[in-house]
Structure 1
Amino acid sequence: MDSLSLARIQTVRDHMALECTQEWDAVIATFAHPRYEMHGGGAVFDGEQAVRGYFASSRTPFPDQANEIISIAAAGDTVLVEFWLTGTHLGPLKANGTVYPPTGRAFRVRMAASFEFAPDSDKIVCERPYFDQGAKLRSLGLAAT
């Protein structure tokens, strides 16, 4: 594997680890331009302010949200990751027009994400998580399985 692909994989590993420890300035520094495209709900968070807002809103219901990488690979200007997303429902969760009060229950859902990189760079230009929008609710026992 070439050195740029290895550097990109390391950037993604660092990015995901920093999300777990909520070191938001360092997460932002992994981007050439901060952008998340959520393939599951359709939301797009473009620019630093929008991305920081996403971080805050996603950690309100799950302040301990974390990820565990299962598999990671580089392909061209993209790094692909399969991972477990975990967390504990400790704050209000807004989903499908409903606000669910904290249950104290933990969730663990399998997800995938692609990370697009600027050409000839190890800086991310877009993260695209792919997920089943109802998976967390089902895992928490808040929706039918």
Structure 2
Amino acid sequence: MTAQDLHQARLKTVRDHMALECELDWDGVIATFAHPRYEMHGNGAVYDGEAAVRGYFDASRSAFPDQSNEIISIAVDDTNHTVLVEFWLLGTHLGELKVRDKIHPPTGKSFKVRMAASFEFEPHSAKIICERPYTSPDMKLKQLGLV
């Protein structure tokens, strides 16, 4: 695979990954990883391995079953084996939300927060080894009227 082919393949992997998350196709999302791992920089949580990542999917979608994303911009950093994405995260609070040992009942309110994420790849591979989303930990809560 040429450097340009790898560049394009990584872009496609991230676009597919984010679209599959919106479709709740967890098998498809898992298939975009060489090793499933999320490091959440808003709250410090780390989900390492398929079971932990699937647990994160279940927990996040129970509170926000319609959660989706809209890519604003995307760029590849070939030198550091990363793809950087800026996006909107959207959803409606339709299920119980646990935050800092407090459970918030559904509000029915929607949120739209601007976020960024880095996707790290193995060298010479289009498989993700870690997704690192970045956001304000309370932005979603503020929009839902919970803080």
- What is the TM-score of this pair, normalised by structure 1? 0.96
Match of 1:72 among 74, 79, 82: 74
Residue matched to 1:52: 54
Q: 1:29-55: CA deviations, max 9, x gaps?
A: 000000000011111100000000000
Letter in 1 for 2:129: V
Q: Which runs of 5+ in 1 are unaligned?
A: none
Alpha-carbon distance between aligned partners in 2 of 1:87 and 1:40, rounded to the nearest angstrom: 17
2:89 counterpart of 1:85:
yes
Letter in 2 for 1:142: L
Name the CA distance, whole Å, in 2 between partners of 1:58 and 1:26. Answer: 17
Q: TM-score, normalised to structure 2's length?
A: 0.95
Which SS does the other structure have where 2:94 is aligned? coil
Distance across 2 between alignment mates of 1:37 and 1:84? 18
Residue 72 of structure 1, CA deviation: 0.2
For residues 22 and 97 of structure 1, the distance between their equivalents in structure 2, rounded to whole angstroms, comes to 26
Find the aligned partners of 1:82 and 1:108 in 2 and give their Cα distance.
13
Report the alpha carbon displacement of residue 97 of structure 1 after superposing the two structures with TM. Answer: 2.3
For residue 145 of structure 2, what is the amino acid of its counterpart?
G
**Between the two proteins, what is the percent identity of the paired residues?**
68
- Which residue of 1 is the match for residue 110 of structure 2? 106
Match of 2:119 among 112, 115, 120: 115
Q: Deviations over 1:61-102 (max 9, x none)?
A: 000000000000000200000000000000001112211100
Matching residue within 94, 97, 108 for 2:98: 94
* Structure-2 separation of matches of 1:71 and 1:3: 20
Which structure 2 residue ranges, 5 or more long, are not aligned? none
Q: Distance in 2 between matches of 1:79 and 1:6?
A: 11
Question: Which of 63, 79, 90 is equivalent to 1:61?
Answer: 63
Provide, for residues 9-47 of structure 1, a one-character-per-residue CA deviation record: whole Å limited to 9, x for no partner: 110000000000000001000000000000111111000
- Paired with 2:26 and 2:84, the residues of 1 have a C-alpha distance of 22
Secondary structure of residue in 2 paired with 1:91: coil
- Runs of 4+ aligned structure 1 residues displaced above 2 Å come to none
